[in-house]
Amino acid sequence: MAPSDTTTGHPPEPAPGRPGPAEVPGGPAAAGPADPAELAGRLRAVIQHLLPVLRGHSTHRDLTPSRTAALARLDAHGPLRVSELAARMNIALSTASRMVDLLDDRGWIARRTDPVDQRASLISLNDAGRALLRAVRRETTGLLAERIGRLPPDRQHLLHAALPALEELVDDAG
């Protein structure tokens, strides 16, 4: 029986780059589906370690993760009111308002009066914000492509096969 983490009772997380028990031929995956709690812990750990790697290689130092998230939400769902942006980012209205002011100061968004309610504004990406977001996405995609390209073909295939399930997790999050 594999040792378990004394704080959670789950098997310890594998070292980076090392296969976990579900990946070993004849391991738990061969016997049946993996434990969702174990998968969640391992996925969280991978994401937690991968995001700083991607952020650390960005040439856009003034674009923080929260600013990137705001630009991405505006790209996907804009134009939005500040309150709608706050709801989509799951942040307080005051935080979203400060974020919008900062994005506006940087020249990445456009504001216009909401035609439905003249007291409110609609926020959207402008050309500079759209170009910045595309550049950041190209950088991170390039970095990931380079790292994926160094994986053996069988690992690339496993990653490809996992993408639909990961995309479902995102879809479920709204």
Task: Give residue-wise pLDDT tens across range 93-118.
Answer: 999 999 999 999 999 999 999 999 99
Q: How confident is residue 27, by pLDDT bands cut at 50, 70 and 90?
A: very low
* Residue with tokens 């496993």, as numbered in its chain: 158
Distances (CA, A) of 65 to 10, 62, 149: 30, 10, 25
pLDDT digits (tens, 9 = 90+) for 144-169: 999 999 999 999 999 999 999 999 99
Please name the amino acid found at residue 2.
Answer: A
pLDDT the model gives residue 145: 95
pLDDT digits (tens, 9 = 90+) for 86-96: 999 999 999 99
* DSSP letters spanning 105-137: HTT-EEEEE-SS-TTSEEEEE-HHHHHHHHHHH
The four Cα atoms 45, 35, 32, 26 give a dihedral, to 10 degrees, of 50
Average pLDDT over residues 137-148: 93
Which percentage of the chain shows pLDDT scores above 90?
66
Encode burial over 64-85: b for 16+ CB neighbours within 10 A, e otherwise: eeebbbbbbbbeeebbbbbebb
Output phi, psi for 18, to 5 deg: -105, 140
pLDDT at residue 19 is higher than 60: no
Q: How confident is residue 5, by pLDDT bands cut at 50, 70 and 90?
A: very low
